[in-house]
Structure 1
Amino acid sequence: MSELREQVMAHAGDRMEMDNSVGPSATAATLGLVERPLVDVAQLDSASGVILARTEGVVTAAQCDLNDHLNMAEYLKIIDSLSGLTLDEIGVGEAYVASQRKSFFASRVAIRYLLEMTCGVSYVAEARLLAFDRRRLLTYFCLYNGENGQLVAKALLEWAHVDLSSRRALDLPASLANTFDRASHLFVERLPKITL
């Protein structure tokens, strides 16, 4: 087992989410996903996972809020645009959806903001494959200040493999799972649940 997988699984252990007052997310329930042990986004570092995609940009005035820093919705837009590149890079983008009638739906996301990004500051965003199980991918995003290289924000995004006809989660095809495993060696029996 890789050091990264050992860290993720050691941190996750057998703990289950303790606060169920809100219950599982509607998306997870709708897709037929089960609750899993926790992994804390704060425990991950910028060297975790295998880099799949990278993008760069500059924070514009239109992206800033009344506090003159990058609006939280804009962090999600950066992650979302990078997600498309990530899915294309691992062979499950538009061509996969069109030919297989299967796709990946975002089922959970957690973002941790570490530093401000103000208007005019350049950024670099990277997406990494952190782990996968028989039905899900766990991707990890890092947003860096492009001028000084400081880690500004990090996020975990869990994807469920979905049949577009039934709208239900289903196992990855063996060929796809083998491709992911050969590229990353990050297969785990059950993905840990993400939390802040």
Structure 2
Amino acid sequence: MTIMWPKAPVESHKMDVKEEWRDYNDHLNMAYYNVLFDEACDRILAKLGLGAEYLKTRNGSYFTAEAHVCYVRELEIGMPVITRLHLLDLDAKRIRVYQELFHAEEGWLSATSEQLCLHVDMSTRKVVPWPEDILSELTALQEAQRDLAVPERAGRGIAIKRRPT
């Protein structure tokens, strides 16, 4: 059964920045941005059939092979947040997703995350092709988002830009 995906990034559930995530700078520690992105991505991909039940019944999962986070505006403890996920690309074994993290009430952008995820057979812990039903759902999501512009921060690398002297 294919989900009817919106022709827009998929919005996550609302999450709150927890007190125990505070760092010595008195804001959200950078590691917990990844926790928020991961939690949102897991919930969204579970709708595709890639949740805990997939691991339990089919012994498959997905692992993040690479991630790039851009911190745009700091978050403080207690702030409500949501993410929006855009499936940028996929092939037989991988997906590339891009998420934006927003203040859930005020709407401003806090951070972005781009990830490359691999489909894994948990019995061998090797990268393997997506099963046909999962690939079909991923393809449906990609097709729904096909007309979205590639986000400005997608595909960025890290560099110190030098001015000519």
- Normalised to the residue count of structure 1, the TM-score between the two structures is 0.64
Identity over aligned residues, as a percent? 25
CA offsets per residue over residues 12-35 of structure 1, 9 Å max, x none? xxxxxxxxxxxxxxxxxxxxxxxx
Partner of 2:29: 71
The CA deviation at 1:155 is 0.1
1:1-196 mapped onto 2 (5 Å cutoff): 50-185=8-143, 195-196=157-158
Letter of the structure 1 residue corresponding to residue 45 of structure 2:
L
The answer to whether the 8 A contact 2:11-2:82 is kept is: no
Give deviations 1:117-154, integer Å, cap 9, x for gaps. Answer: 12333222233322211110112221112232111100
Secondary structure of 1:87 counterpart: helix
Q: What is the alpha-carbon root mean square deviation over aligned residues?
A: 2.4
Deviation at 1:114, TM superposition (A): 0.4
- CA distance, structure 2, for counterparts of residue 126 and residue 140 of structure 1: 8
Alpha-carbon distance in structure 2 between the residues aligned to 1:195 and 1:50: 25
Alpha-carbon distance between aligned partners in 2 of 1:111 and 1:169, rounded to the nearest angstrom? 24
Structure 1 SS opposite 2:12: strand
> How far apart are the structure 1 equivalents of 2:48 and 2:9?
11
Residue in 2 aligned with 1:42?
A: none
* TM-score, with structure 2 as normaliser: 0.75
Q: 1:175, CA displacement in angstroms?
A: 3.0
Distance 1:182 1:118, change over 3 A: closer
Contact 2:99-2:114 within 8 A present in 1 as well: yes
How far apart are residue 87 of structure 1 and its match? Answer: 2.3
Q: 2:67–2:115: 8 Å Cα contact kept in structure 1?
A: yes
Give the Cα separation in 1 of the matches to 2:78 and 2:63.
Answer: 33
The whole-number CA distance in structure 2 between the counterparts of 1:101 and 1:195 is 34
Aligned length: 144
Distance 2:78 2:56 in 1: 38
In the aligned structure 1, how far is the partner of 2:123 from the partner of 2:27?
41
Structure 2 contact 83–100 (Cα < 8 Å) conserved: yes
Distance 1:60 1:97, change over 3 A: closer
Equivalent residues of 2:87, 2:141 under 8 A apart: no
